[in-house]
């Protein structure tokens, strides 16, 4: 796989050369560690990712070909702890990596894998059912991310405001209630029930829809709103009651709404040994119930070119400070319209999760581009 860019908080990583992520901004953390310290830290992190257990010096010398004595490894581990890369659980003589260690690992040591043919086929297989709407496709995306990563898959659906307007249709309900159906060029459909000031006839609603579609088609939603305001101020609309009513209905319909969030695989966290504590699990599940905070977090990734990584406390959500989030934006045509990703423990297998997230985002963008 080529051209995998990872944009991390405050540190941009944008190239993949022979499977190794290369930092291209001014990060200086590399300079604080010797080659020996880097090797030992990498060994500890890889063991901790694999076992979720504190790692001791004898484990490092036994499992890794470093040609170092346990005493030497112990001394280096002590130095790494002083620098904030390791911590010592009270119940163990071993050490565990900190968020700082995982950030250094991702930025400087990680060798990113590839999505193998079997995984590519599984991802594509989930999208082969024809005739599904965009919501179903995004829900399926959260499932495939969870299934392949064995963590939690998450997808933020596009806000309608991020799209280009295709058409609007008004359907008469009871009394003054009207169902407004908005369709974007990317295939996103938004339904909203609005209250009219009067009781319009069905044929008037058709005329209103035709007028708005001819006026607004091809504009972005922000342009649509500006056009509506401009039209409402025009002399023509002041003397044409039908056009005025149409614009007022469209203004109600285009009020901003919260994006949908598709989450799949929360149960996978139960299988991670570090979350065996019931109170920890309650905190994590409360975080997933607060979808507005998840949306805020993932909205920060909308402007990234490819992959973003938030490790532990970097995600700013206190209830998720033991989790990492790997995300990538997806697009329809040239426009980024949403974000997808994987949430897992800070010791997740970044080398395999990063390419899964990146590849899925590119496949989803291709599918939405054809809708």
CA-nearest of 283, 327, 325, 320 to 305 is 327
Residue 38 corresponds to which tokens in the numbers above? 């880097």
Give per-residue pLDDT as tens, 251-286.
777 765 556 789 999 888 888 887 777 777 777 777
Could you tell me which residue, 158 or 45, shows the higher pLDDT? 45
Minimum mean pLDDT among 64-68, 287-291, 324-328: which range?
287-291
List helix spans (H) across the chain.
35-51, 57-63, 70-82, 99-104, 117-125, 134-149, 202-216, 221-232, 235-238, 241-253, 267-270, 278-289, 291-299, 350-370
Could you tell me which residue, 358 or 199, shows the higher pLDDT? 358
Chain position carrying tokens 């709407």:
133
Instruction: Tell whether the model's pLDDT for residue 305 goes beyond 70.
Output: yes
Which distant-in-sequence residues (6+ apart) come within 8 Å of 156 by Cβ? 259, 260, 261, 294, 295, 298, 299, 338, 339, 340
Give per-residue pLDDT as tens, 313-356.
888 777 788 899 999 998 876 667 789 999 999 999 999 999 99
> Where do the domains of the chain lie, and which CATH numbers do they carry?
25-109 (1.10.10.10), 117-159+258-370 (3.30.450.40), 162-253 (3.30.390.60)
Identify the pLDDT of residue 341.
Answer: 95
Minimum mean pLDDT among 200-214, 218-232, 316-330: which range?
218-232
CA-nearest of 181, 141, 115, 51 to 367 is 141
Instruction: Tell whether the model's pLDDT for residue 60 goes beyond 50.
Output: yes
| Distances in whole angstroms, Cα of residue 84 to Cα of each of 36, 75, 175, 295 | 17, 15, 66, 31
Task: Please give the average per-residue pLDDT across 149-155, as a whole number.
Answer: 94
Instruction: Tell whether the model's pLDDT for residue 298 goes beyond 60.
Output: yes
Question: Would you place residue 16 in the very low, low, confident or very high pLDDT band (cuts 50, 70, 90)?
Answer: very low
Task: Please give the average per-residue pLDDT across 82-109, as a whole number.
Answer: 90
Q: What residues are paired with 192 via a beta bridge? A: 180
| Distances in whole angstroms, Cα of residue 222 to Cα of each of 67, 101, 226 | 62, 43, 6
Other C-beta atoms within 10 Å of 260: how many?
A: 16
**Mean of per-residue pLDDT scores for the chain:** 80
Highest mean pLDDT among 17-21, 152-156, 265-269: 152-156
Question: Would you place residue 370 in the very low, low, confident or very high pLDDT band (cuts 50, 70, 90)?
Answer: low
CA distance 224 to 184: 12
Instruction: Tell whether the model's pLDDT for residue 4 goes beyond 70.
Output: no
Task: Please give the average per-residue pLDDT across 66-91, as a whole number.
Answer: 89
Instruction: Tell whether the model's pLDDT for residue 9 goes beyond 50.
Output: no
CA distance 339 to 328: 6
């Amino acid at each position: 796989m080529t051209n995998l860019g990872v944009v991390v908080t405050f540190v941009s990583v944008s190239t993949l050369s022979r499977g190794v992520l290369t930092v291209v901004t001014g990060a200086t953390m590399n300079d604080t560690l010797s080659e020996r310290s880097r090797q030992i830290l990498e060994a500890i992190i890889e063991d901790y990712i694999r076992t979720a257990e504190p790692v001791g010096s004898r484990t490092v010398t036994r499992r890794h070909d470093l040609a170092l004595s346990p005493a030497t490894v112990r001394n280096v581990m002590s130095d790494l702890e002083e620098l904030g890369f390791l911590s010592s659980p009270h119940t163990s003589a071993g050490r565990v990596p900190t968020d700082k260690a995982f950030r250094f690992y991702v930025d400087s040591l990680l060798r990113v894998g590839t999505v193998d043919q079997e995984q590519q086929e599984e991802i594509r297989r989930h999208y082969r059912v024809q005739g599904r709407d965009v919501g179903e496709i995004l829900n399926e995306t959260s499932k495939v991310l969870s299934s392949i990563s064995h963590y939690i898959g998450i997808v933020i659906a596009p806000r309608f405001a991020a799209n280009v307007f295709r058409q609007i249709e008004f359907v008469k309900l009871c009394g003054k209630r009207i169902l407004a159906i908005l369709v974007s060029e990317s295939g996103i459909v938004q339904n909203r029930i609005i209250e009219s000031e009067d009781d319009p006839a069905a044929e008037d609603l058709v005329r209103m829809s035709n007028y708005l579609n001819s006026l607004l088609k091809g504009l972005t939603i922000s342009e649509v709103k500006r056009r509506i305001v401009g039209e409402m101020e025009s002399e023509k609309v002041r003397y044409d009651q039908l056009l005025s009513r149409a614009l007022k209905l469209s203004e109600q319909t285009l009020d901003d709404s919260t994006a949908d969030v598709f989450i799949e695989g929360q149960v996978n966290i139960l299988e991670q040994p570090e979350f065996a504590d019931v109170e920890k699990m309650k905190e994590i599940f409360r975080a997933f119930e607060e979808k507005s905070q998840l949306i805020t977090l993932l909205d920060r990734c909308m402007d990234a070119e490819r992959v973003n990584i938030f490790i532990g406390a970097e995600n700013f959500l206190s209830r998720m400070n033991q989790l990492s989030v790997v995300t990538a934006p997806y697009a329809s045509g040239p426009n980024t319209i949403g974000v997808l990703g994987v949430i897992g423990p800070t010791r997740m297998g970044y080398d395999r999760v990063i390419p899964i997230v990146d590849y899925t985002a590119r496949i989803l963008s291709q599918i939405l581009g054809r809708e």
